[in-house]
Amino acid sequence: MLDTTEIGGKAKNFPTTQWDVLRAMRECTPELKRQLLDGLMSRYWKPLYYFLRCQGQDYEAAKDLVQGFFTACIERDALLMADASRGRFRTFLLTALTNYARKVHRDENAKKRRPPGGMISLDELIGDEDATFEPSSNETPEHIFNRAWAIDLVHRVLKTLEEECAQTGKEIHFALFRMRIIEPALEGTKAPPLAELARRYEITKKQAGHCLLTARLAYQRILRDEVNTYALSKEDAAEEIQNVFNMFGNKKQLF
């Protein structure tokens, strides 16, 4: 019998935040600090890169500036000055990058800087779509940054949901959620009829509906957990989710 119950277990406690990561970096070894910063870079490089592209930097310049920024964060402990009481983590990152970019002199010695011992390369993270991105004249760099942040957030949530469904034998839940909810919302296509999807997976329409509900609840839980990693409070997390909701044009399917 198809199990349509909860995915991923009960709701967890408020997760470790990015502010906690920064606090840990103040007292850890250089190797652990590099690993923690690699994690931050893997998570947040794209919005910063898109912001710089919209400020007029070309592909190579924007890529090198983001790489250099995170390298400087290791060499100068720049991120350790972050203070949660002064605003959102996203705002802090953007301000720190802007200040860094103003100080950088574009010469061969400044390009592709890496700290001793190595660091994750942006070349390993950047995709063809990012490399060929051309900013729109109708959007400000700040708007592009926030939109890229929101898109990356949703994609991380979907990846986690897919992994949870695979681990719990609920691949059908994710497939139905992707085809019925996510793809129509992100691609602007028409959602296939639920009865058609049910026939494809040889389940009843009622079972398909339960699968969708279970997947949606899991998606919402993962989204809250993800936002809570950098939100200052539960109230701030709720406001952040609303901001992301607005960024996607109020597409209720995603939230």
Query: Could you read off the pLDDT of 110-121 as tens digits, one per residue?
Result: 455 555 555 566
Highest mean pLDDT among 38-47, 189-198, 234-243: 189-198
* pLDDT bracket for residue 245 (50, 70, 90): confident
**Is the pTM for the entire model greater than 0.75?**
no
Q: Looking at residues 9-25, what average pLDDT do you find? A: 59
Q: Looking at residues 4-22, what average pLDDT do you find? A: 56
Flag whether pLDDT at 35 surpasses 90. Answer: no
- Virtual CA dihedral for 223, 224, 225, 228, nearest 10 degrees? 120
* pLDDT bracket for residue 143 (50, 70, 90): confident
Flag whether pLDDT at 89 surpasses 60. Answer: yes
Quick one: pLDDT at residue 209? 95
Q: Looking at residues 206-217, what average pLDDT do you find? A: 95
Flag whether pLDDT at 10 surpasses 80. Answer: no
Quick one: pLDDT at residue 142? 84
Query: Could you read off the pLDDT of 41-54 as tens digits, one per residue?
Result: 888 888 898 889 88
* pLDDT bracket for residue 106 (50, 70, 90): very low
Q: Is the dihedral of CA 76, 80, 83, 87 positive or negative?
A: positive
Quick one: pLDDT at residue 206? 95
Query: Could you read off the pLDDT of 153-188 as tens digits, one per residue?
Result: 888 999 999 999 999 999 999 999 999 998 888 788
Residue 168 CB burial class (10 angstroms; 0-12, 13-18, ≥19): middle
Number of Cβ within a 10 Å radius of residue 85? 6
Closest CA to 50 of 151, 124, 167: 151
Q: Is the dihedral of CA 229, 232, 235, 239 positive or negative?
A: negative
